[in-house]
Structure 1
């Protein structure tokens, strides 16, 4: 949901997405994905799991430190504030928490961490320590893209209008379901080759014109189409998780050929399931 602010900037009249409905849709999709992939592994692929079966994890009992417990508390607070507006009935409390949004909840968490002090009086969090772990090149790239993509909403430049005119014949010919399917395929394939943050921002720029052409609210589509931009497992550069997976080739747990073949199957399964379940539940995420 990190790019939904960009989407709203380009589509100021679009209603907010429904985070509760988004979670329900995602839960259905993820459950189906786990079941189908498990069936494929169990009855079709049948990989050799002897090493995994014989592996014995080190028996250690590591307890959370005080700092880790506080960080967990801030994280839980973030999720509660971000999700409450979708769960509460209409009223003053709902209106109050709706003012925060995802970004506001994140800012509040950072503010609390900055105010907190350790037992010896030192700050719990310092910006200089946080900055060392931030991938600044990604931040700058996304920031630049957000500025460039925001020009789509500028009527004086006419970029958004030109894009709408260009894609209108295609969208009208394949319809709403076809457009959704094409965007899912493009997003999933692209995110396994390019940086997923880049793909996510680019997808946000075309959802408004596509939905506007078909006369439907774009909020649910914008929310759900973030998911394909995160399913990056094919190449080491696709995501940190994929990089860690390829790192296991040096330990002999898996080889690159197996990763590519299994990942390709999972990607195809994801595309099919997401098109069917995602399109069927898109109205849960936004109207």
Structure 2
């Protein structure tokens, strides 16, 4: 696989290298689940149609986590159409696909992947990394150095992808470590590189206008009937605050509790770092793409923070995130540099359009909504099964149980797939116990990405476990497990109350 394909492999298929026989086994398991759910008598209170939808959705979860994303997504919609959920006959079957792919979130992702793919292809992220890592404040300050490396990784992950950031940051940081004479035998090595991975993993959902985060947050909006939708800008603020707290706690824990030997990092200087960051002078394309990011964010935020009586703000509210993203795609397509468009749509789409994410989003949105609808009886079944375990608990304990379960199960299955499975569960029980589902759903959307203790958790986890030149499995588990527990507690005791304030 070439680097351009790797850069945008933000997909739910974290088992791309799985032997063919295992792929066939998991494929067969999914079809067996569908067959069993379609022929067995309904498990009350599930309806006959609910059994078919539930079996199909569970099969998609298994396939997304173990096999692929494209054909399972199409296959899932096929079986939901055959279940009669949208009506019988050709009209009902066709309605499933037209409704799924006609969702405005699907269109947003289609355009955003090209826009941010062009941002990555321009080379702008490399200039961000170089600028951050050549600030004089880090001279002779090991923990400031690590904080700036982590900050660069966090920001680049937010505007590109976790996989892209790993591919970009690994060679940069390895050159930095080589220049400082730090090697894998030094005590600080695993804490630095595992910490880098943890920050990247944490930041992958901070900019939710791209990738699977759109599907996860969009699923909540669909389940709520868009009556009280999650506003993506608020989600960005929440994740940025939590990311700052997480990174700060990690570095403070290193400095004052673990206290690894950082003597070699005391030689860090701007001159040494700059020597490993040779880049040509920044050009017009990179400058425009870098300027686009803050303006893009402002255009998204403006309708939420400024009065809509202003005609420009009113216009931005009218076009929404989809319109803002389309505007920038058109802008970069019109502007030319050296007789070339700054955004060659077909060229960028060929390298950076992620078909796995594109097909997963409509199938996950539609499948989750179908599963949680009154026609299936799935919500009643969840209440019947889980009420004995959750009833009588305080709100905080209730939230802690659900979040802990989500983190545990997503350590062994794909993060995004588990978030999609958990969303209707969160929604049902928050309503059942009189808890605002919005705050819980928002934290759930972020908390599943804490899980990274097996290669199956995410694509970047698979990449990290497989990179034996940098990471040892024992170091990932030794450092990652306690950090995951601490991050879980951070979300339960600080993140959830913060979400309730931000999402009133």
Q: Which bracket does the TM-score occupy, shorter chain normalised?
A: 0.7 to 0.9
1:222 CA drift (Å): 2.0
Question: Which stretch has the larger CA shift, 148-157 or 42-51?
Answer: 42-51
Unaligned segments of structure 2, at least 5 residues = 1-207, 209-213
The count of aligned residue pairs is: 285
The equivalent of 1:29 in structure 2 is 242
**How far apart, in 1, do the equivalents of 2:299 and 2:308 lie?**
16
Corresponding residue to 2:428 among 200, 204, 209 = 209
Q: Secondary structure at the match of 2:356?
A: helix
- Residues 81 and 100 in structure 1, CA contact (< 8 A), matched pair in contact too: no
Describe the superposition over 1:60-90 as per-residue Cα deviations: whole angstroms up to 9, x where unpaired. 2543332222322333333122222332246
2:222 counterpart of 1:16 = no
SS of equivalent to 2:453? coil
Give 3-state SS (helix, strand or coil) of 1:281's partner: helix
CA 95–172 in structure 1, closer or farther in 2 if over 3 Å, else same: farther
| CA distances 1:125-159 after superposition (whole Å, capped 9, x unpaired) | 22343232233234334443322212034333333
* 2:442 pairs with 1:223: yes
Query: Which moved further from structure 2: 271-280 or 1-10?
Result: 1-10
Correspondence for 2:290 among 64, 69, 72 = 72
Larger RCO (CA within 8 A; separation ≥ 6)? 1
In the alignment, which residue of structure 1 is the partner of 2:352?
133
| TM-score, length basis structure 2 | 0.49
1:185 deviates by 1.7
Report deviation, 1:265: 1.5
Higher mean displacement: 49-58 or 72-81: 49-58
Q: Trace 1:24-103 onto structure 2 (pairs within 5 A).
A: 24-49=237-262, 56-57=272-273, 58=276, 60-89=278-307, 91=309, 96-103=315-322
Distance 1:216 1:103, change over 3 A: farther
- TM-score (normalised: structure 1): 0.81
Residues 18/146 of structure 1: CA separation in 2 closer, same or farther (3 Å cut): closer
What RMSD over aligned residues (CA atoms) do the two structures have, in Å?
3.2
Query: How far is 1:115 from its partner?
Result: 4.0
Instruction: Answer with 1 or 2: which has the greater Rg.
Output: 2
Where structure 1 has 5 or more consecutive residues not aligned to the other structure, the ranges are none
Within 1, Cα distance between the matches of 2:262 and 2:361?
40
Answer whether contact 1:219 1:285 (CA < 8 A) is retained.
no
CA distance in 2, matches of 1:167, 1:124: 51
Deviates more, 1:25-34 or 1:260-269: 25-34
* Residue in structure 1 matched with residue 500 of structure 2 by the alignment: 283
Confirm or deny: 8 A CA contact 2:426 2:441 kept in the other structure: yes
